[in-house]
């Protein structure tokens, strides 16, 4: 049998490149054997893209965001960004045995080969539970597709999502289509809700492997659990594999903690985590000097 081929598909603008660069370096460090297909904003410089394409042991393929279908309603650039990512995953389906959809602000910190292999071999969709909704996965199947309209009903997170794009092709196409199902009164076209709607339509519950959102998204529990670097590096049951965060962006961490300033000790847990995670990502960001992204903040919390 031929060697299996895997790929990440991500969207990016220059403001989020610190996170994606850290992720690509982490995949190089941990030995993940997957290419990167990146849908990018026109502001990305050719010089930087060329440097990335030469610096890593896997392919880095850059794809300029396009409005491919003039008759579609592109609500804004935000929706076009995500729609293009799903379009691209479908476009490369015959070249790869499994893909993983991520966002530019999801930092991966572990070897992902196992999950690509599992998605292909078992023909199952793999993603984390969405802790913010507190909506059990089984409840997703007790509601109609039309009832899944906001984040409360989003039982599953929309990154990282591993699957065989040929086997789950209708799921992928509907995820793309549902991002255009815009409504003023609800969030049905948001990528998170669009994915849960497509899962409800196309994939049985027994064909989903649900990862722990605390370990694979890690944007809900950072107020309660104080992380240190060993939690993200050691292979133990509680280690973190992926972190959804923008705390290294100017003002972002302060905006996160401002409403919770009097919530001690959780307030101090969050501050510690923002610093620890940002510093951890910065180590990976610097591993390949020719692609190191310098546009990130090391803020003093106010």
Supply angle C-alpha 10, 256, 293, rounded to 5.
40
CA–CA separation, 107 vs 237, rounded Å?
Answer: 19
> Is 219 inside any structural domain?
no
Q: Are residues 253 and 149 in the same domain?
A: no
Q: Which residues pair with 279 in a beta bridge?
A: none
Q: Which residue shows structure tokens 């080969």?
A: 113
Domain holding 157: CATH number?
Answer: 3.90.550.10
Do residues 221 and 243 make contact, with C-beta atoms less than 8 angstroms apart? no
CA–CA separation, 287 vs 127, rounded Å?
Answer: 28
Q: Are residues 141 and 22 in the same domain?
A: yes
Q: Are residues 85 and 190 in the same domain?
A: yes
The residue among 213, 248, 263 that closes a domain is: 213
pLDDT in tens, 237-264: 578 899 999 888 877 877 777 777 776 7
> Is 220 inside any structural domain?
no
> Is 218 inside any structural domain?
no
**Residue closest to 146 by CA, chosen among 191, 181, 96:** 181
State the alpha helices, DSSP H only, in the chain. Answer: 17-30, 46-55, 77-91, 113-122, 137-140, 169-178, 191-202, 213-216, 229-233, 252-257, 266-285
Query: Is a pLDDT exceeding 50 seen at residue 93?
Result: yes
Q: Which residue shows structure tokens 């923002």?
A: 274
Cα four-point dihedral sign 8, 10, 14, 16 = negative
Q: Are residues 207 and 243 in the same domain?
A: no
**Residue closest to 291 by CA, chosen among 108, 101, 41, 57:** 57
Q: Are residues 209 and 239 in the same domain?
A: no
pTM tops 0.75, yes or no? yes
Q: What is the mean pLDDT of residues 39-47?
A: 93
> Is 222 inside any structural domain?
no
Q: Are residues 120 and 30 in the same domain?
A: yes
Q: Are residues 236 and 193 in the same domain?
A: no
pLDDT in tens, 118-158: 999 999 999 999 999 989 999 999 999 999 999 999 999 99
DSSP codes joined into one string, 220-289: SSTTTS---HHHHHS-STT---EEE--TTSTTHHHHHHGGGTT-TTHHHHHHHHHHHHHHHHHHHHTSSG
Q: What residue numbers bound the domain in which 250 lies?
A: 229-291
Q: Are residues 66 and 119 in the same domain?
A: yes
> Is 13 inside any structural domain?
yes
Q: Tell me how many domains the chain contains.
A: 2
Q: What is the mean pLDDT of residues 89-105?
A: 97
CA–CA separation, 109 vs 243, rounded Å?
Answer: 8
CA–CA separation, 30 vs 109, rounded Å?
Answer: 8
């Amino acid at each position: 049998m031929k060697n299996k081929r895997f790929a990440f598909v991500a969207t990016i603008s220059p403001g989020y490149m610190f996170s994606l660069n850290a992720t690509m370096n982490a995949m190089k460090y941990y030995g993940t054997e997957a290419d990167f297909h990146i849908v990018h904003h026109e502001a990305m410089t050719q010089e930087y893209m060329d440097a990335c394409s030469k610096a890593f042991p896997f392919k880095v393929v850059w794809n300029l965001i396009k409005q491919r279908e003039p008759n579609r309603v592109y609500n804004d650039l935000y929706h076009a960004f995500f729609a293009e990512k799903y379009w691209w995953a479908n476009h490369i389906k015959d070249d790869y045995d499994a893909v993983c959809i991520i966002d530019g602000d999801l930092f991966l910190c572990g070897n992902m080969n196992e999950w690509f292999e599992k998605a292909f071999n078992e023909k199952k969709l793999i993603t984390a539970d969405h802790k913010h909704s507190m909506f059990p996965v089984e409840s997703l199947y007790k509601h109609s597709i039309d009832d899944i309209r906001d984040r409360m009903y989003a039982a599953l997170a929309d990154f990282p999502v591993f699957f065989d794009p040929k086997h789950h092709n209708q799921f992928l196409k509907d995820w793309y289509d549902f991002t255009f199902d815009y409504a003023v009164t609800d969030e049905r076209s948001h990528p998170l809700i669009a994915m849960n709607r497509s899962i409800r339509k196309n994939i049985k519950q027994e064909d989903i492997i649900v990862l722990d959102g605390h370990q694979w998204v890690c944007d809900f529990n950072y107020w309660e659990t104080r992380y240190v670097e060993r939690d993200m590096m050691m292979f133990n049951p509680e280690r973190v594999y992926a972190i959804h965060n923008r705390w290294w962006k100017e003002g972002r961490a302060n905006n996160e903690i401002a409403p919770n300033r009097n919530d001690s000790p959780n307030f101090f847990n969050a501050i510690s985590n923002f610093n620890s995670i940002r510093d951890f990502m910065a180590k990976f960001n610097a591993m390949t000097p020719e692609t190191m992204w310098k546009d990130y903040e090391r803020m003093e919390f106010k």
